[in-house]
């Protein structure tokens, strides 16, 4: 079984409430992607046969590292879809992945998390990596995550378009929604 992350475009009357797995409309501040994210485990690319819901992006995940942290009640589930520039050497890619997986050690607001590569065989995609986290509240993402020096004076070097050694493409998808149950 494979874990999938899908981006959904929703008609005004459409609801994702009863989709299997977990799904939710994006909160303000999300960037790129669709109107909602659908997280689901399935053998093959899931389809939606409900009116008003269209899949606009889908990635199959090949796990790199993850950790589950118990958390009761609703949580904010955040997804970052990113693509590395072509031709990045394996050792640089590994350093980048280690930087990301170090974030939960430095940012206490990150609860469960998962870093994956995109399974290009199952889901050919412009994205190469999926970086997901859960937070107890929106402040965990908007405040703790963005204000951590490990983030802006460390990990961000891989993303900063003004840095000569940035390896992440300039476009990305950053989306988050409120999930009632654990996703990661």
CB nearer other proteins, residue 9 or residue 174 = 174
Percentages of the chain per state (helix, strand, coil), in multiples of 5: 20, 40, 45
The phi and psi torsions of 66 (rounded to 5 degrees) equal: -160, 165
Q: Is 94 in the site for other proteins (CB under 8 A)?
A: no
13, 28, 51, 149: residue in contact with other proteins (rule CB under 8 A): 149
Is residue 157 involved in binding other proteins (CB under 8 A)? yes
From 58, 27, 25, select the one nearest 40 (Cα to Cα): 58
How many residues line the site for other proteins (CB under 8 A)? 13
108 binds other proteins (CB under 8 A): no
Two tokens, residue 130: 């999926």
For other proteins, the binding residue among 170, 178, 179, 183 (CB under 8 A) is 170
Q: Is 47 in the site for other proteins (CB under 8 A)?
A: no
Is 169 a binding residue for other proteins by CB under 8 A? The answer is: no
153 lies in the site for other proteins, by CB under 8 A: yes
Alpha carbon separation from 182 to 30, 102, 167 (Å, rounded): 20, 21, 31
């Amino acid at each position: 079984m494979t874990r999938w992350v899908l981006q959904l475009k929703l008609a005004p009357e459409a609801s994702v409430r009863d989709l299997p797995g977990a799904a939710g409309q994006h909160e303000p501040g999300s960037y790129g992607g669709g109107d909602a994210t659908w997280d689901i485990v399935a053998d093959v690319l899931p389809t939606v046969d409900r009116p008003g819901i269209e899949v606009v992006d889908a990635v199959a995940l090949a796990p790199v590292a993850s950790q589950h942290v118990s958390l009761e009640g609703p949580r904010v589930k955040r997804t970052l879809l990113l693509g590395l520039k072509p031709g990045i050497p394996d050792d640089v890619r590994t350093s980048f992945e280690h930087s990301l997986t170090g974030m939960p050690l430095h940012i206490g607001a990150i609860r469960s998390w998962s870093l994956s590569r995109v399974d290009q065989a199952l889901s050919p995609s412009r994205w190469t990596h999926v970086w997901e986290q859960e937070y107890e509240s929106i402040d965990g993402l908007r405040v703790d995550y963005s204000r951590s020096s490990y983030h802006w004076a460390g990990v961000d070097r891989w993303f900063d378009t003004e840095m000569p050694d940035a390896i992440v493409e300039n476009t990305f998808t950053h989306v988050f929604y409120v999930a009632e149950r654990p996703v990661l």
